[in-house]
Amino acid sequence: MSYVINNHNIFAIVLITFLATLVLTPIMKKVAIHVNAMDYPDSKRKIHKVPMPRLGGVAIFLSFMLGYILFAPENSIMISILMGSFLLILAGAVDSITPLKARYQLIIHIISAAIVVVYGKLVLNTISIFGLTINFVEPLNYLVTILFIVLFINVINLIDGLDGLATGISSIYFLTIAIIAFMLNQLGGLDVILALIMLGSTLGFLVYNFPPASCFLGNCGSDFLGFIIGVIGLLGFKGATLTSIVIPICILAIPILDTVLAILRRLIRGEGIFTPDKEHFHHQLLKMKFSPKTSILIIYFITALFSAVSIFFALGDKKQAMIIYVILMLFLIFIVMKTDILFKHKKTILEEERILKEEVAREHIMMQKRKKERSKKRKNN
């Protein structure tokens, strides 16, 4: 079995990009502090306790650029990927310093995806899912492809709420794509080169991002990872690596399910779908008294299970793999519905009422103490 892709050893690709991110991240941490691209713990939704640099995504992007220069081919698709990536990184870096409104970020996501679709001509004309083949005519094929990429950008962005979570899940995704390509002896595609480059880049950043993190991805990093994940999924499906578009979707079952439930939750509560909250799946694990490290390890494990089934789907009996997919998904949904991710259970409501009463009681006691102190001061005067 060959370990060479595009005349480069696959382990060398991962190692060089890993070391590049390892060196670049401390530099970007200093840059973030200098330009005040910091994530301050200024709301209850945030878990960290001290200000954190959030330009880690720039370090990953620069490592990705090095990987492109050394290992990737130069063609219209690759150039379009670089253009879309740069736009996302630029907008995300600006957002880390001066927050952009959600609608402006969404417009940038659409433009970045459109660059790859229109200029790079990476268009999804047909998909096969659950044994069905669906063909898209113009311009529907362009719209579906753009939506596909934008979906993954936002899925990774929304899951990025805990140290090492988005980076680790992305690393598992890139590793899974590389394993499938290796097992199928399909190491010549751009999707595999990108997966290996991104695997090294994300693992290098995970050294600083695994809890307790010393640097955050920022929107520039989570958007960039989601963008590349979507692009690799399309490249793999249009090439020979992925036999079905269902594979990248199933690998990212947790982030996708979490995103769907977040949208439903906010609609049920009459909130905007981009309104941030503290009810994501990782938040639910924290509510169960799991530590941040244990919480992400649980999510890593579940993601690894879906990835293993995805490898089996690509290499083995697809019907058996789909049955296992369904069982895993039903089990995941069962766990999720035991939490407050969609709506609050009676036990949670009662607990919140108890805590609120205690806070009111404490505040009342403090007010009485302050009143007595003021009375004493007036008597002494």
Q: Where are the domains of the chain?
A: 23-337, 350-381
Which pair of structure tokens corresponds to residue 204?
């290098």
* Long-range contacts of the stretch 107-111 (C-beta < 8 A, 24+): 109/149, 109/150, 109/153, 109/154, 109/223, 109/227, 110/146, 110/150, 111/84, 111/87
3-class SS of residue 279: coil
What integer pLDDT is reported at residue 350 of this predicted model?
Answer: 63
Contacts of residue 336, Cβ cutoff 8 Å, sequence gap at least 6: 257, 261, 281, 284, 342
Contacts of residue 34, Cβ cutoff 8 Å, sequence gap at least 6: none
What integer pLDDT is reported at residue 352 of this predicted model?
Answer: 62
What integer pLDDT is reported at residue 284 of this predicted model?
Answer: 86
Q: What is the distance between the alpha carbons of residues 284 and 53, in angstroms, rounded to a whole number?
A: 25
Give, to the nearest 10 degrees, the angle between helix 318-337 and helix 253-268: 40
What integer pLDDT is reported at residue 184 of this predicted model?
Answer: 82
Question: pLDDT digit of tens for each residue in the chain (381 aa)?
Answer: 578 887 888 999 999 999 999 999 999 999 999 999 998 887 666 777 789 999 999 999 999 999 999 999 889 999 999 999 999 999 999 999 998 998 899 999 999 999 999 999 999 888 766 667 788 888 899 999 999 999 999 999 989 888 999 999 999 999 999 998 888 887 778 899 999 999 999 999 999 999 989 999 999 999 999 999 999 999 887 765 565 677 888 899 999 988 888 888 888 888 877 777 788 888 888 888 888 899 999 999 999 999 999 888 888 777 888 888 889 889 888 888 788 777 776 666 666 667 677 777 777 778 877 777 777 777 666
> Is the whole-model pTM more than 0.85?
yes
What integer pLDDT is reported at residue 348 of this predicted model?
Answer: 62
What integer pLDDT is reported at residue 126 of this predicted model?
Answer: 81
Give residue for tokens 């290996």.
Answer: 196
Question: What are the start-end ranges of the E strands in the chain?
Answer: 4-5, 8-9, 38-39, 52-53, 126-129, 132-135
